[in-house]
Amino acid sequence: MLVLHTVQDVISWRNENIDRRTQTSGFVPTMGCLHDGHLSLIRKSRLENNFTIVSIFVNPSQFAPSEDLDKYPRTLQADLALLEKAGVDLCFVPNAAEMYPQGIPLEVEAQKGPFVTVIGVSEQLEGRTRPNFFRGVATIVTKLLNVVLSTHAYFGQKDFQQFTVLKVMAEELFMNTKLKMMPIVRDADGLALSSRNRYLCQESRHLSTAVYQALQMAAACLQNLDTNEEVQRSDLVDKILQHWVPHVTSGDFEVDYVSVADPRTLMELESVSGSTAVVISCAVFVKDRENSSTVVRLIDNILLNQ
């Protein structure tokens, strides 16, 4: 596996090695700290393409000054070993100066250069708590896709809103890459894999399985509906919140949002039938029981009838 650090090197490599008219390439952008979720994307890319390219870049512009950019887990050597073993052709590992030639201060007001925003699907859900998150994600993915110019790019469903934002971006800016979403990979107990799970002690990690359980209960409720029967959004949300009451009471959980939305527009639905396309999603802050200053924000979702 080749490891490259500059934009120019990746462009040269791609121009020399890939004939875009007859060969396909798959791209998996990551922030490193790789887990089986990432590896499932890489396996899919390998299956579907002549070349597979991965990037590892902890993107400053998607972190707010209050967030965990400095503490975000970085495990480059282990990541590279995993990628090598997974049969990746090229790993692109730029530094921040390479991706942001004018620098990238965390304060949005001080940032200069080109930025991509996707209006209409960025403001709700994750965007309410993290107002510049999707601007950062859309901008870095635009840069990476232009550098890699792959025919396909793979993203996990765990960040469903992120995929929606990027899909609207790629389609409506007419980018030359087709975006694909792959199912959430979960631990045996149902917890969605995330690089941030490792911040949690065993007890808090175990409690966190209630996040997905609640979503499953809401999904089951929809799947058990008779034809023409409907459920109100508020009833579904209540069912989910109800499941978390013990954890909220104990101080383990703080609920950020629960959403029952149209998967295309990410607008909340009033009511849902058994055949409505719907994404049930949530974000929950989990306070670590061993280290109370550690709060991990978990997100998860279930997609039905998509």
Minimum CB separation of residue 193 from its own copies in Å reads: 29
Nearer to its own copies, 73 or 113 (CB): 113
Interacting residue ranges for its own copies, rule: CB under 8 A: 7, 11, 15, 19-21, 100-102, 111-120, 138-139, 142-143, 146-147, 149, 168-169, 171-176
CA–CA separation, 178 and 156 (whole Å) = 14
Minimum CB separation of residue 168 from its own copies in Å reads: 6
CA–CA separation, 78 and 209 (whole Å) = 27
Of 5, 35, 38, 247, catalytic? 38
Minimum CB separation of residue 169 from its own copies in Å reads: 4
Cα dihedral sign for 9, 15, 19, 20? positive
CA–CA separation, 51 and 67 (whole Å) = 35
**Measured between alpha carbons, how far is residue 157 from residues 125, 150, 163, 205, 279 in Å?**
15, 20, 7, 21, 11
Nearer to its own copies, 72 or 115 (CB): 115
Cα dihedral sign for 306, 212, 166, 13? negative
Minimum CB separation of residue 70 from its own copies in Å reads: 24
Give burial (CB, 10 Å; 0-12/13-18/19+) of 101.
exposed
Residue 41, sorted as left (phi over 0), alpha (psi -120 to 50) or beta, turns out to be alpha
Nearer to its own copies, 138 or 181 (CB): 138
Tokens representing residue 6 in the block: 């500059």
Tokens representing residue 245 in the block: 């009451």
38 is annotated as an active-site residue: yes
Nearer to its own copies, 116 or 222 (CB): 116
Minimum CB separation of residue 140 from its own copies in Å reads: 10
- Which residue in this structure is represented by tokens 């965390």? 106
Annotated catalytic sites, by residue?
Answer: 38
